[in-house]
Amino acid sequence: MLMKMKHILLFAAIMIAVTSHAQKNSKPNIIIIYTDDLGYGDPTCYNKSGIPTPHIDQLAASGIRFTSGHATSATCTPSRYALLTGQYPWKNKDAAVLPGDAPLIISTNQLTLPAMLKATGYKTGIVGKWHLGLGGATQKNWNERVSPGPNELGFDYSFIFPATADRVPTIFMENGVTIGADPNDPIAVDYTKKIGSEPTGKENPELLKMKSSANHGHDNTIVNGIGRIGFMTGGKTARWTDEEIPFTFLDKARTFIRENQTSPFFLYYALTEPHVPRMPSTMFKGKSGLGFRGDAILQIDWAVGEIIAQLKALKLYENTLIIFSSDNGPVLDDGYEDGAVTQQNGHLPWGKLRGGKYSSFEAGTRVPTILSWPAKVKGNQVSDALVCQIDLLASMASLTGYKDATGKISDSQNQLNAWLGKDNAGREYLIKNNGNQANVIIKGNWKLIKANNRQAKNLLTNTELGNLPADQLYNLKTDIGERFNLADKNPEMVKQLNEFLLIETGKSGK
């Protein structure tokens, strides 16, 4: 009997040793689930009266929910630029919302998150929205392979759409090649003038299944009953159906995970929801009671759940580090009459924050930010550390043992301890931008928005932009909603932050 016990104990000890050895030596898989325009107050784990998001909440429960997680910018292209390059987007004058035919704005000489991870042994893939330009400066031929693009920046595999869901070309590209392209029906795109004879939202509004909002300009070529920004001809067999996009992206993401399950992999899963045009699949249409925007968020949550389920089925969940976040804050009317405004029904996508997408107020850039890595990070944590997506490059470099011999990790800070919940401070300061101007600094509890003469409100989207002709100072600890401008009461802090911002931006040659 005693002998038997001894054997069991010995066996158990060996098993523990083997497992911990395996875990120690195997790098985690890394998945970034990046949503498009999801607000700080959208998921339930951030806002009790938010939209039901059980799977996103489950991620938070299995890891850390950050209350001060930031994108660098209040729009897509600059935030994605910072996420992938670790560089402040205001240093690159092209890092602003791009048209669908823009050239690639990341240089193939720049270090990128996927290139760094690839160098440390990861298989790297992107599935979803790109919006960082494709190809060189000359006119692209969408009917041939377009490069450089994600594959030239460190992604082994790419399945993307080029820009935004509301911009042409409305096509998918796999490793640079348009899916379903037909040589007899070549694709052409123009952002300056109408090309071809296809109906546009402006000329044939009766053909639209969802009306464009007045004056937003989503009234060029109609694809799938929806007016887009920009003109497109050809490629009839290559065009997407909006309702199917989530299934297509999920399928590609799952295939990438399945095919790379034996090596550490990095997947950048860049969902298009809840960006306009919100055209949820039948499964979710009308389900939220908050219009298509709410339905699109249910759709995100479903996709997150599908990924979690797959990881669990493949026994990869424990050792997969998942980061869930958004590229910028929320907006209701961003171009279409989709019920977001008329069926808001009291839901506050920005939660307690002020502003929204496009704004220098917090709702523009403070976004849901969750990290889950069950093997190493205990669940149900809430962290107030100041973290920013720009730091994922240096932090993941530290995690995976990448040695930066090139000195190319510049603005990205190694904040791994904050990301893993070991330190509750995070960054000492963070500079954010609006347009090409680095006009916001957060340092400790303080936030400065620099004086500027731009419009105070985006009248199309009804968003307070945070612009004033005088400097604004807020104490984010006591006034997260940025209601009390303390600039007059605390001129010394305004001066200090201005000087600090000047030094920091001067350092980088701006």
Q: Which residues bind ligand NG6 (CB under 6 A)?
A: 36-37, 75-76, 97, 131, 164, 166, 216-217, 229, 275-276, 328, 334-335, 460
Looking at the Cβ atoms of 394 and 440, the one nearer to Ca ion is 440
327 contributes a contact to Ca ion by CB under 5 A: yes
Stretch that binds Ca ion, among 141-149, 298-306, 326-334, 465-473 (CB under 5 A): 326-334
276 binds, among ligand NG6, Ca ion, none (CB under 5 to 8 A by kind): ligand NG6
Q: How far apart are alpha carbons 65 and 314 in whole angstroms?
A: 25
The SS3 assignment for 153 reads: helix
> What is the closest distance, in whole angstroms, from the C-beta atom of residue 377 to Ca ion in the complex?
27
Residue selected from 28, 33, 37, 162 as contacting Ca ion according to rule CB under 5 A? 37
36 contributes a contact to Ca ion by CB under 5 A: yes
> What is the closest distance, in whole angstroms, from the C-beta atom of residue 340 to ligand NG6 in the complex?
12
334 contributes a contact to Ca ion by CB under 5 A: no
29 neighbors 320 (Cβ within 8 angstroms): yes
**Residue type present at position 339:** G
Looking at the Cβ atoms of 169 and 426, the one nearer to ligand NG6 is 169
Token pair 């997506």: residue = 389
Looking at the Cβ atoms of 260 and 272, the one nearer to ligand NG6 is 272
303 contributes a contact to Ca ion by CB under 5 A: no
328 contributes a contact to Ca ion by CB under 5 A: yes
> What is the closest distance, in whole angstroms, from the C-beta atom of residue 131 to Ca ion in the complex?
8
Q: How far apart are alpha carbons 241 and 475 in whole angstroms?
A: 46
460 binds, among ligand NG6, Ca ion, none (CB under 5 to 8 A by kind): ligand NG6
Looking at the Cβ atoms of 332 and 386, the one nearer to ligand NG6 is 332
| 426 strand-pairing partners | 386
Q: How far apart are alpha carbons 508 and 510 in whole angstroms?
A: 6
Looking at the Cβ atoms of 70 and 275, the one nearer to ligand NG6 is 275
Distances, alpha carbon 4 to alpha carbons 9, 11, 12, 15, in Å: 9, 11, 12, 16
370 neighbors 57 (Cβ within 8 angstroms): no
Q: Which residues contact 30 (CB under 8 A, 6 or more apart)?
A: 117, 122, 264, 265, 266, 267, 320, 321, 322, 323, 396
Distances, alpha carbon 204 to alpha carbons 149, 227, 306, in Å: 35, 10, 39
Looking at the Cβ atoms of 178 and 328, the one nearer to ligand NG6 is 328
> What is the closest distance, in whole angstroms, from the C-beta atom of residue 275 to Ca ion in the complex?
6
Name the closest residue to Ca ion (Cβ). 76
Q: How far apart are alpha carbons 264 and 376 in whole angstroms?
A: 16
252 binds, among Ca ion, ligand NG6, none (CB under 5 to 8 A by kind): none
Q: How far apart are alpha carbons 149 and 135 in whole angstroms?
A: 6
50 phi/psi in degrees, rounded to 5: -75, -170
Looking at the Cβ atoms of 63 and 356, the one nearer to ligand NG6 is 356
List the one residue out of 231, 180, 212 whose CA is nearest residue 278: 212
Q: How far apart are alpha carbons 213 and 219 in whole angstroms?
A: 9
The gap between the terminal CA atoms of the chain, to the nearest Å, is: 76
335 binds, among Ca ion, ligand NG6, none (CB under 5 to 8 A by kind): ligand NG6
Stretch that binds Ca ion, among 86-94, 288-296, 322-330, 425-433 (CB under 5 A): 322-330
280 binds, among ligand NG6, Ca ion, none (CB under 5 to 8 A by kind): none
Looking at the Cβ atoms of 27 and 131, the one nearer to ligand NG6 is 131
Q: How far apart are alpha carbons 231 and 193 in whole angstroms?
A: 7
Name the closest residue to ligand NG6 (Cβ). 76
Looking at the Cβ atoms of 177 and 341, the one nearer to ligand NG6 is 341
Q: How far apart are alpha carbons 201 and 209 in whole angstroms?
A: 10
Cβ atoms within 10 Å, residue 400: 18
Looking at the Cβ atoms of 81 and 256, the one nearer to ligand NG6 is 81
72 binds, among Ca ion, ligand NG6, none (CB under 5 to 8 A by kind): none
Long-range contacts of 2-8 (CB under 8 A, 24+ apart): none
Q: In what order do the strands lie in the sheet with 446-449?
A: 429-434, 437-443, 446-449, 472-475
> What is the closest distance, in whole angstroms, from the C-beta atom of residue 200 to ligand NG6 in the complex?
15
> What is the closest distance, in whole angstroms, from the C-beta atom of residue 367 to Ca ion in the complex?
10
164 binds, among Ca ion, ligand NG6, none (CB under 5 to 8 A by kind): ligand NG6
**Interface with Ca ion (CB under 5 A):** 36-37, 76, 327-328
